[in-house]
Amino acid sequence: MRIDIITVQPGLLESPFSHSILKRAQTKGLLEIYTHNLRDYSTQKQKQVDDYQFGGGAGMVMMLEPVVRAIETLKEKVTYDEVIYLTPDGETLNQGIANQLSLKGNLLLLCGHYKGIDERIRQHFVTKEISIGDYVLSGGELAAAVLVDAIGRLIPGVLNDEQSALLDSFQDNLLAPPVYTRPEEFRGWKVPEVLMSGDHKKIDEWRHDMALERTRQRRPDLLDK
């Protein structure tokens, strides 16, 4: 998979993509991540990429021409399955979306900034809009990092144990059950006996029951799905 990201703050994305699972994915050649500085596509002397909004109002808007130039330049080299705009008013990211996008070949992400992008870009170039929650960030870079991480870990071969991703929270609209590791007893706090039984059928049943109960207590809205 290849993911290209257009941003006015490429430095914000250096650390998230150079550590842990995403670093492993790139080292294995399973995922390619490229960041592109939007200012490189500006024809302004000062590399300006924002301007005042028509009609007045507070806040600047990302200019049409640099974004279009960046998208069209990249599309000359790569065929994208989706052009995704990270925006607070997009579809809220969930595990199902991450699953679907992990099956794609090439993605182009556009990070919003200032008051957002000229609406004509959304109308003519963007194919999908994604939000990571009902709040506003300074820019779409952190949202892009979250999205790439959610997608990247699902690519076959990225995780050492591929079954692990299938048992994550939200994969079956349930939260993950409690997990334990050594020691078996600590300060009188014991691991549930069923997990020590070696009976995998009973263990699976216990985990499902615990996942169901945890979801019922913490996220009952998931059960409606």
**Measuring CA to CA, which residue among 210, 207, 183, 185 is closest to residue 195?**
207
Question: Is it the case that residue 61 has pLDDT exceeding 80?
Answer: yes
Q: Grade residue 225 by pLDDT with cuts at 50, 70 and 90.
A: confident
201-218 mean pLDDT: 96
For residue 119, pLDDT over 80 is answered with yes
Statement: the pTM of the whole predicted model exceeds 0.85: yes
Q: Which of the pair, 164 or 157, is modelled with greater confidence?
A: 157
Give the whole-angstrom CA distance, residue 60 versus residue 49. Answer: 10
User: Which pLDDT value is given to residue 171?
Assistant: 74
Q: Reduced to 3 states, what is the DSSP secondary structure of residue 91? A: strand
Q: What is the pLDDT of residues 89-103, one digit of tens each?
A: 999 999 999 999 999
| Residue 65, strand partner residues | none
**Structure-block tokens of residue 27:** 């080292």
The per-residue pLDDT of the chain, averaged, comes to 94
Q: What pLDDT does 172 receive? A: 82
Residue 168's pLDDT band (boundaries 50, 70, 90)?
low
Percent of the chain with pLDDT strictly greater than 70: 96
pLDDT in tens, 82-92: 999 999 999 99
pLDDT band at 45 (very low <50, low <70, confident <90, very high): confident
User: Which amino acid type is present at position 117?
Assistant: I
Q: How far is CA 83 from CA 76, 95, 128, 198, in A?
A: 14, 19, 6, 48
| pLDDT value at 110 more than 90 | yes
- Asked if 173 contacts 222 with a C-beta cutoff of 8 angstroms, the reply is yes
Is the confidence at residue 165, as pLDDT, over 80?
A: no
